[in-house]
Amino acid sequence: MEYKIFDSHAHYDDEAFDEDRSEVINEIISNDVIGVLNCGSSLDASRKTVKLAEKYEFIYGAVGIHPEFASMVNDEVMEEIKAMTKNKKIRAIGEIGLDYYYDENPPREVQMQVFRKHMALAEELSYPVVIHDRDAHQDTLNIIKEFPAVKGVVHCFSGSVEFAELCLKEGYYLGVTGVVTFKNAKKIAQVVEKVPLERLLVETDCPYMAPTPNRGKRNQSNYIKYIIDQIAEIKKVSPEEVSRVTINNVKNMLGIE
């Protein structure tokens, strides 16, 4: 492979990697992965993210509480998340947002309140955010609009072209996962076609969402090559161009030289 990869969204803290984490990380390094943004999803995952970012030079961290755990968030939790950002390897607040897939669990009002708390922290710190939006497009957009100074990425983008354009208008990047390689993934293919390359990030969401031909297996960052190849095909540019621009995008977002 002739091009480099920066995985803008991974979970190497996940227990799926407990048996062979260092082997997998060494493997991705030897397969042209030059950067990873590891995203905390709970307080424990955020703590582990800090440790991973401290241990590996090419891993950066985002810290925050996923909407699934919104009910556990209090002032003490938010203070600890804020304290983690003092580490210079922590470059974003996330994974935060809204998830209405499991209907009212946690209650939507609670999720929105916690999302706003994280957005306010990002605003205070001038940090980008990594947003999780599942079946919650309108409320996600409404809260993004409440914090115009905050920018970031809508990760694992699953909306329409119209929704994509509204997110771009607010200054956000869109994260493209292995879903773009699935045969039935018409919606994300249309988004990739329409959205400028300068506004796309590539991500694994590993250990989840492995692209074809590894669909169903545990995902890892070097598999992004299949995502890059697919984006290149859709946009009729070279994979090298997709690699170069997406690396530039994520570095710009995180403020990395």
Note the pLDDT tens digit of each residue in 139-181: 999 999 999 999 999 999 999 999 999 999 999 999 999 999 9
pLDDT digits (tens, 9 = 90+) for 116-150: 999 999 999 999 999 999 999 999 999 999 999 99
Rounded Cα–Cα distance for residues 40 and 189 (Å): 28
| 205 and 8 Cβ atoms separated by less than 8 Å | no
pLDDT at 42: 98
Between CA 121 and CA 85 the distance in angstroms is 10
- Give the H or E element holding residue 118: helix 108-125
The whole-number pLDDT of residue 103 equals 76
Q: Alpha helices of the chain — where are they, by DSSP H? A: 21-29, 43-55, 75-84, 108-125, 137-146, 161-169, 186-194, 224-235, 239-254
For residue range 96-118, what is the model confidence (pLDDT) as tens digits? 999 999 876 799 999 999 999 99
Report the predicted TM-score, pTM, of the whole model to 2 decimal places.
Answer: 0.97
Write phi, then psi, for 28 (nearest 5 degrees): -70, -35
Q: Is it the case that residue 54 has pLDDT exceeding 80?
A: yes
- Domains parsed from the chain with CATH numbers: 5-254 (3.20.20.140)
Q: Calculate the alpha carbon distances from 222 to 34, 36, 80, 183 in Å.
A: 10, 10, 32, 21
Mean of pLDDT over the chain: 97
Structure-token pair, residue 184: 């039935």
Model confidence at 245, in pLDDT bands (50, 70, 90)? very high
